[in-house]
């Protein structure tokens, strides 16, 4: 039986207004930084507070047969596992729904009245760190399941997996994937609620994700700082050495990555999809808050979209060894270290990229300086398998019912390590990677917000998809 979208929308909307929104206010207020940004996360207890908040909320939901468990492995952040049995459906099929609870650092630049741990609602926008990335996911997943049941529909067994290390490259997740292998089973459909949407007027499916390699490049030229007047001109600047090393991997004029192991050929079908997206939405490069007259290095709108989905890039995200300007004495500093974040095209092997970068950055350093490159994490990207006809039809129908327009697809420049893991483990599974990060929502940055209207519509679309997946796979019991 096809589900009535109006019943689904009414149920999902009611749950969002009465139950999810208050919980998200409480969740945003918790500074549960991902372990890469808070190595003492266990001692501080913020992650456990966030997990307990979501666990308690889930346990109170009126879903017969559901079990909610916090799984903990020594030395790892916890994982929340919510197991919902099939409803009015035969078979042993499983749908895996995924999200995460850990958060990025606070970041400077929040406008007056806002802050990372201060939830503020302005119209349909809920400001604060982590609401959209990705605290809403567990709530939306269960709201979708409830809506299916409320509408008299059927759904396959649903396993909701919420991790706590995604923003650190999902460093803890492989251990849990192994530990929970029997419970995960072999899902035929994976729904990931941690991506973005290129517009707020339709459901967007992510077709590819870039990988991410994070490393620290450190240059030492002295064992201690010395008077710049005495040493300047004889002792090389550690910053200058670091700058020259970076020029080995990135063209300083265009930003193009120069290391072949970090590049790949863009498939023709992905280029065609980029052209269609640009024709529909316009210039992707216009979406960013450029300062002054700053412009992208690419002139062509299609090349700009390819640059953030299928090209490698490097960002210097932090520096050490450099004092604030007001505390800078006339000292030639002994060392400089830069944290580098490389985005890798979907089909690039992150391990091989790490080897190549280490070789290029450390070989024959200028002035024989002491140079080290330490890889903190290296995660490969993901390229979606071909979408089955039934899923393409179901996504269009769900998008029309929830948003009023058919679904669309686009590659994303970010990284969700779990998708790469699942793609290798379940090569025959179908994927819906979607999310609520509308243009301007600024995940990871200041003034991050969750678009509540879009979140409710995504919930409706996921509910309709669950019902259609069950109908296609099994059919309801009599």
The 10s digit of each residue's pLDDT in 187-221 is 999 999 999 999 999 999 999 999 999 999 999 99
Joined tokens for residue 124: 């349909």
Q: Mean pLDDT across the stretch 327-338?
A: 96
Question: Among 438, 417, 140, 150, which residue's Cα sits nearest to residue 281?
Answer: 438
CA distance 69 to 320: 40
Residue 294 has pLDDT above 90, yes or no: yes
pTM as predicted: 0.90
Averaged confidence pLDDT in the chain: 95
Residue 316 has pLDDT above 50, yes or no: yes
Question: Among 199, 450, 216, 180, which residue's Cα sits nearest to residue 317?
Answer: 216
CA distance 62 to 11: 13
Q: At a CB cut-off of 8 Å and minimum separation 6, what does 185 contact?
A: 92, 94, 159
| DSSP bridge pairs for 378 | 213
The 10s digit of each residue's pLDDT in 352-372 is 999 999 999 999 999 999 999
Q: Mean pLDDT across the stretch 43-67?
A: 98
Q: Which domains does the chain have, with CATH numbers?
A: 5-209+383-473 (3.40.630.10), 211-270+302-379 (3.30.70.360)
Q: Give, as one character, the DSSP assignment of residue 168.
A: G
Ranges assigned E (strand) in 228-349: 313-320, 331-332, 335-344
Q: Mean pLDDT across the stretch 108-125?
A: 97
Residue 111 dihedral angles phi and psi, to the nearest 5°: -75, 165
Joined tokens for residue 139: 């709530």
The pLDDT assigned to 381 comes to: 95
Residue 1 has pLDDT above 80, yes or no: no
The 10s digit of each residue's pLDDT in 67-88 is 999 999 999 999 999 999 999 9
The pLDDT assigned to 474 comes to: 55
CA distance 71 to 80: 6
Residue 451 dihedral angles phi and psi, to the nearest 5°: -80, 105
Indicate the pairing of strand 370-379 with strand 335-344: unpaired
Residue 478 has pLDDT above 90, yes or no: no
* Strand arrangement, sheet containing 211-220: 313-320, 335-344, 211-220, 370-379
CA distance 206 to 309: 10
CA distance 408 to 198: 9
């Amino acid at each position: 039986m096809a589900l009535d979208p109006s019943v689904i929308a009414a149920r999902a909307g009611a749950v969002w207004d009465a139950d999810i929104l208050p919980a998200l206010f409480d969740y945003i207020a918790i500074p549960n930084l991902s372990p890469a940004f808070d190595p003492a996360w266990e001692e501080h207890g913020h992650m456990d507070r966030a997990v307990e908040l979501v666990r308690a909320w889930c346990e109170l939901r009126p879903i017969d047969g559901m079990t909610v468990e916090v799984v903990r492995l020594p030395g790892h952040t916890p994982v929340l596992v919510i197991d919902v049995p099939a409803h009015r459906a035969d078979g042993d099929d499983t749908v895996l729904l995924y999200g995460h609870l850990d958060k990025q650092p606070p970041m400077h630049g929040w406008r007056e009245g806002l802050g990372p741990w201060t939830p503020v609602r302005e119209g349909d926008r809920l400001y604060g760190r982590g609401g959209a990335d990705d605290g809403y996911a567990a709530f939306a997943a269960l709201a979708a399941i409830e809506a299916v049941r409320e509408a008299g529909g059927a759904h396959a067994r649903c396993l909701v997996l919420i991790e706590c290390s995604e923003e650190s490259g999902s460093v803890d997740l492989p251990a849990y994937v192994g530990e929970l292998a029997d419970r995960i089973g072999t899902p035929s459909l994976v729904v990931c609620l941690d991506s973005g949407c290129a517009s707020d007027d339709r459901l967007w499916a992510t077709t590819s994700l870039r990988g991410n390699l994070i490393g620290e490049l450190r240059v030492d030229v002295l064992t201690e700082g010395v008077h710049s007047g005495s040493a300047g001109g004889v002792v090389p600047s550690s910053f200058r050495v670091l700058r020259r090393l970076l020029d080995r991997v990135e063209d300083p004029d265009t930003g193009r990555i120069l290391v072949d192991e970090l590049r790949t050929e863009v498939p023709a079908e992905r280029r065609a999809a980029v052209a269609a997206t640009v024709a529909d939405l316009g210039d992707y490069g216009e979406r960013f808050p450029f300062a002054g007259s700053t412009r992208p290095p690419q002139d062509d709108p299609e090349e700009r979209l390819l640059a953030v989905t299928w090209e490698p890039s490097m960002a210097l995200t932090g520096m050490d060894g450099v004092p604030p300007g007001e505390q800078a004495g006339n000292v030639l500093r002994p060392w400089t270290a830069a944290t580098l974040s490389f985005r890798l095209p979907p089909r690039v092997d992150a391990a091989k990229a790490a080897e190549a970068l280490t070789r290029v950055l450390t070989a024959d350093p200028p002035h024989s300086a002491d140079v080290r490159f330490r890889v903190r994490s290296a995660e490969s990207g993901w390229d979606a398998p071909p979408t089955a006809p039934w899923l393409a039809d179901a996504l269009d129908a769900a998008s029309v019912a929830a948003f009023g327009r058919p679904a669309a697809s686009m590659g994303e420049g970010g990284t969700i390590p779990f998708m790469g893991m699942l793609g290798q483990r379940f090569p025959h599974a179908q994927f819906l990677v979607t999310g609520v990060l509308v243009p301007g929502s600024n995940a990871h940055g200041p003034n991050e917000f969750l678009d509540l209207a879009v979140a409710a519509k995504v919930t409706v679309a996921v509910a309709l998809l669950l019902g259609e997946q069950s109908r296609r796979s099994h059919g309801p019991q009599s």
